[in-house]
A and B are shown apart, each in its own frame.
Chain A
């Protein structure tokens, strides 16, 4: 069974610092990996999707890398802002296009 881990569960950073969030998964047979953002009491917003054949994806201040062989992905957020405070979820797509989710990294950016 695919297991996805995100550590730490929570972190705080001063405004302006770069954020680095890590995600690991146990089975490298994935179709893709998706990073989401969730604000309290809201649904999930898709940030980046990396296909299994890709090594990274970029969107604005966000960059996500994928190392399928080692079962790892990293989400970088450059020059963090208070508006980046949220929970970030990592999910991998596997058999029948199902998603397995990590429990998330709860991020607070301190002004």
Chain B
């Protein structure tokens, strides 16, 4: 089955800790994205990558970091510098080009204790 997987589904973090959220896709998509979703707000773009070994900041990149060493994987690290990390995190991927239909994973809910 082709698709996007995110792990873990639920994640709990103590204040001051860094945590890494996993995103893997087997759709052979070039582009991958990380979004954050908060209640009552639309999805906001954290980081995106259009090709391996390259990525760009989105609208709310502060306190987050990413890497793109493999086409299939785009992990997101939530650092201790992120002031309010409790949220639902969604990963997406797409082929490059005008169509750019984005497909989403099931999400990770991060809670800071």
B51 lies within 8 A of chain A by Cβ: no
User: With a CB–CB cut-off of 8 A, which chain A residues contact B56?
Assistant: 96
> What residues of chain A lie closer than 8 Å to B109, measured between beta carbons?
41
Q: How far is the CA of A51 from the CA of B104 in the complex (A)?
A: 19
Q: Which residues of A contact B31 (CB under 8 A)?
A: 97
Could you tell me how many residues of chain B have their Cβ less than 8 Å away from some Cβ of chain A? 29
**Could you tell me the distance between the alpha carbons of A105 and B31 in the complex, rounded to whole angstroms?**
27
> Given A49-B99, A102-B42, is A97 in contact with B107 using a C-beta cutoff of 8 Å?
no
Do residues A99 and B41 form an inter-chain contact, with CB atoms below 8 A?
no
In the assembled complex, the Cα of A102 lies from the Cα of B42 at a distance in Å of 5
On whether the beta carbons of A98 and B98 are closer than 8 Å, the reply is no
Q: Are B41 and A46 in contact (CB under 8 A)?
A: no
Q: Does A60 contact B (CB under 8 A)?
A: no
Q: Assuming A31-B98, A49-B99, is B45 touching A99 (CB within 8 A)?
A: yes
Q: How far is the CB of B40 from chain A (nearest CB, A)?
A: 7
Report B-chain residues with C-beta under 8 Å of the C-beta of A4: 42
Provide the bound-state CA to CA distance between A44 and B46, in Å: 17
The interface size bin for chain A is 20 to 34
Asked if B43 and A101 sit within 8 Å, CB to CB, the answer is yes
Q: How far apart are A92's CB and chain B's nearest CB, in angstroms?
A: 11
Task: Specify the chain A residue showing the minimal Cβ separation from B41.
Answer: A103
Interface string of B61-83 (1 = CB under 8 A from A): 00000000000000000000000
Binding site for B on A (CB under 8 A): 4, 31-32, 34, 36, 41-46, 49, 51, 89, 91, 93, 96-104
List B residues at the A interface (Cβ < 8 Å). 6, 31, 33, 40-45, 48, 50, 56, 58, 88, 90, 92, 94, 96, 98-107, 109
> What are 19 contact pairs spanning A and B, CB under 8 A?
A31-B98, A32-B101, A36-B104, A41-B107, A43-B90, A43-B104, A44-B104, A46-B102, A46-B103, A49-B99, A49-B101, A89-B43, A96-B50, A97-B96, A98-B58, A101-B44, A102-B42, A103-B41, A103-B42
